[in-house]
C-alpha cells in the first residue's frame, strides 16, 4: 500500500492595487497547512496569486510573481521550504497595469513563463519538480506523476494568450484544440491508476444562473475527455468560494439537457477551492455577487483549502481511495473542517462515494449506481461502511489522520 497527501488552494490576490496579495489570509492558511500531520507531499496553487501579474510603470515591467513566491517561502507565514509547490496560471497573472488592470497580455504570460523556468532551474526539487510541459505551452500546460507512479496530475491553462505581444485575449476560460488533444493523449497513455486534472477556471460555476451548463463549449469538451478517462477529480479556483459537486449523467440528460452533444457516464467530483485571500462572492462590487447553485453543490462562501489523501491499496490492481477534507475560515476564526468525502476506486469495477450526511450531521451517504449500502459514523475520525450487490461485494474502511484506509474488500 502506498500513500500520497497533497493540498489544493488558490486565489490569494487582494482587491487592492496597492497591496496585490492578501498576505493575512494566505499566511494563515500556510500556517495551518504547515501544521498538518502527516505533512503534505506537495501543494498545488490554483492561480491568481496577485491582483496584477505585471504592475508595470512607465513602460517598465514589474512582475509580481516572485514577490508572491518569496512570501510563500518566508517563515513564519510561508510554507515549509522542503514542501514542493506546483503552480497553475490564472487570469490575474496575465493582467498588466498599463493596459487597464484587467487586460491579459502576452508580455505578462512570457514573464510568468520566465519566472517558472528560473525557479525550476534554481529549486528543482521544491518548485515544479519532475514536470513534463506541453510543447509550445511550457509551464502553462504540464503533467507529473507521483513518486509511486500511481497518481497522474495534468494542469491546463484556460487563459492562454496567443503569441501577439500585448494582445488582449478575447476568449477567457477556454481551452484550444491543442490543449484538449494534449489532455486526452496524456490521460489515455498514462499507466497511473488515479488521475487528477487541474485548471484555474471551473467547468461549471455556482455563480452562473445556468450553473449546470459548461461555461464555454471547449470546457464542455474538456469535461467529456475527463469523463471518457474517468478521472478521480477535477480541481479549480477562480470562483471565490468553496464548492463540491458530483458531475454525472444528469448534466447531459433530461428534457432540458444543459449540455447538448455531450454524454457523461461517470460521476466525477468538481472541486472549487477558490480563495485563500481573494474577495469572497458578494463582498465587493466588481466580483460575482450571487450564488445560484443548489445545496447539492455544497457551496461555502468562506476562505478555503483542501487536503487530498490518496491510498493505493493494491498497486497491481490499482484499487485506491481518495479522501478530500476541506477546511474553511472567515479570515479571523481558526480553520475548521467543513466538507469531506471519500471515493473508492477499482479500475475493474468502478467507483463508490462515501459522504458525511449533510442532513443529520452524522452518518454517511453511500453513492453508487447499483446494489445497497449502509454506513455509520462512529466519531469524527472513524467510520465503517459495507456495500452488497453493487460495484463492490463488500468493503470496510477506517479513517486515520491521513485519510481513509480500506481494510478489507472483495469483488473489486
54: domain CATH number is: 3.60.21.10
Q: Which three cell numbers stand for residue 300?
A: 461555502
DSSP string, 113-136: HHHHHHHHHH-TTTBSTT-EEPTT
Bridge partners for 396 per DSSP: 408
> Cell 463549449, residue?
217
Q: For residue 46, is it within any domain?
A: yes
Q: How far apart are CA 367 and CA 247, in angstroms?
A: 13
How confident is the model at residue 357, as a pLDDT? 56
CA-wise closest residue to 311 among 408, 404, 411 = 404
Q: How far apart are CA 179 and CA 197, in angstroms?
A: 12
Q: Which domain holds residue 291?
A: 2-314
Q: For residue 95, is it within any domain?
A: yes
DSSP 3-state of 52:
coil
DSSP string, 252-290: G-STT-SSTT----S-EEEEEE--SSSPPTTSSTTS---
Half-sphere exposure of 136 (CA within 13 A, CB side): 9
Q: Which three cell numbers stand for residue 176?
A: 484550444
Q: How far apart are CA 52 and CA 50, in angstroms?
A: 5
Taking the alpha carbons at both ends of the chain, their separation in whole angstroms is: 16
Q: For residue 335, is it within any domain?
A: no
Q: For residue 353, is it within any domain?
A: no
pTM of the predicted model as reported, rounded to 2 decimal places: 0.88
Sign, Cα dihedral of 167, 171, 174, 178: negative
DSSP type of residue 161: P
Q: For residue 74, is it within any domain?
A: yes
Q: For residue 164, is it within any domain?
A: yes
Residue spans of alpha helices (H) in 7-150: 23-34, 65-72, 106-122
DSSP 3-state of 51:
coil
Tens of pLDDT, residue by residue over 318-363, are 789 999 999 999 999 999 999 999 999 987 778 999 987 543 333 4
Q: For residue 347, is it within any domain?
A: no
The total domain count for the chain is 1
Bridge partners for 95 per DSSP: 104
How confident is the model at residue 288, as a pLDDT? 76
Q: For residue 391, is it within any domain?
A: no
Q: Which three cell numbers stand for residue 277?
A: 485571500
User: One digit per residue, pLDDT tens: the chain, 412 residues?
Assistant: 669 999 999 999 998 888 899 999 999 999 999 999 999 999 999 999 999 888 887 778 899 999 999 999 999 999 999 999 999 999 999 988 878 767 778 889 999 999 999 999 999 999 999 999 999 999 999 999 999 999 999 999 999 988 765 544 456 688 999 999 999 999 999 999 999 999 999 999 999 999 999 999 999 999 999 999 999 999 999 999 999 999 999 999 887 899 999 999 999 999 999 999 999 998 876 677 789 999 999 999 999 999 999 999 887 887 899 999 999 999 999 999 999 999 999 877 789 999 875 433 334 444 443 333 433 333 333 343 444 333 333 333 333 333 333 333 333 3
Q: HEC string of 165-210?
A: CCCCCCCCCCCCHHHHHHHHHHHHHCCCCEEEEECCCCCCCCCCCC
Amino acid at each position: 500500500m502506498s500513500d500520497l497527501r497533497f493540498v489544493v488552494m488558490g486565489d490569494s490576490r487582494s482587491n487592492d492595487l496597492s497591496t496585490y496579495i492578501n498576505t493575512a489570509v494566505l499566511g494563515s492558511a500556510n500556517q495551518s497547512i504547515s501544521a498538518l500531520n502527516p505533512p503534505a507531499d506537495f501543494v498545488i496553487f490554483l492561480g491568481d496569486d496577485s491582483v496584477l501579474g505585471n504592475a508595470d510603470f512607465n513602460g517598465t515591467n514589474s512582475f509580481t510573481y516572485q514577490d508572491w513566491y518569496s512570501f510563500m517561502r518566508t517563515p513564519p507565514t510561508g510554507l515549509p521550504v522542503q514542501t514542493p509547490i506546483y503552480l497553475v496560471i490564472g487570469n490575474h497573472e496575465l493582467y498588466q497595469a498599463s493596459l487597464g488592470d484587467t487586460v491579459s497580455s502576452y508580455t505578462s504570460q512570457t514573464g510568468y513563463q520566465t519566472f517558472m523556468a528560473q525557479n525550476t532551474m534554481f529549486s528543482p526539487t521544491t518548485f515544479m519538480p519532475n514536470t513534463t510541459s506541453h510543447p509550445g505551452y511550457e509551464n502553462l500546460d504540464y503533467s507529473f506523476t507521483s513518486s509511486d507512479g500511481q497518481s497522474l496530475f495534468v494542469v491546463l491553462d484556460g487563459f492562454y494568450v496567443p503569441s501577439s505581444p500585448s494582445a488582449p485575449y478575447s476568449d477567457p476560460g477556454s481551452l484550444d484544440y491543442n490543449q484538449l488533444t494534449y489532455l486526452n493523449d496524456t490521460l489515455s497513455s498514462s499507466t497511473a491508476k488515479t488521475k487528477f486534472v487541474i485548471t484555474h477556471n471551473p467547468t461549471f460555476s455556482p455563480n452562473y444562473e445556468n450553473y449546470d451548463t459548461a461555461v464555454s463549449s471547449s470546457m464542455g469538451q474538456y469535461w467529456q475527455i475527463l469523463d471518457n478517462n474517468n478521472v478521480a477529480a477535477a480541481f479549480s479556483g477562480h470562483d471565490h468560494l468553496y464548492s463540491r459537486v458530483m458531475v454525472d449523467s444528469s448534466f447531459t440528460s433530461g428534457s432540458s439537457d444543459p449540455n447538448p452533444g455531450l454524454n457523461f457516464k461517470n460521476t466525477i467530483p468538481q472541486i472549487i477551492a477558490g480563495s485563500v485571500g481573494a474577495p469572497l462572492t458578494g463582498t465587493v462590487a466588481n466580483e460575482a455577487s450571487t450564488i445560484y447553485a443548489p445545496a447539492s453543490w455544497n457551496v461555502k462562501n468562506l476562505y478555503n483549502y483542501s487536503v487530498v489523501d490518496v491510498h493505493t491499496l493494491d498497486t497491481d490492481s490499482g484499487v485506491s481511495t481518495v479522501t478530500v477534507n476541506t477546511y474553511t475560515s472567515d479570515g479571523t476564526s481558526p480553520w475548521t473542517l467543513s466538507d469531506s468525502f471519500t471515493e473508492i476506486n477499482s479500475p475493474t469495477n468502478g467507483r463508490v462515494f462515501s459522504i458525511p450526511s449533510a442532513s443529520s450531521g452524522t452518518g454517511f451517504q453511500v453513492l453508487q449506481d447499483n446494489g445497497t449500502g449502509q454506513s455509520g459514523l462512529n466519531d469524527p475520525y472513524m467510520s465503517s461502511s459495507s456495500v452488497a450487490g453493487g460495484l463492490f461485494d463488500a468493503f470496510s474502511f477506517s479513517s486515520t489522520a491521513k485519510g481513509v484506509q480500506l481494510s478489507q474488500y472483495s469483488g473489486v
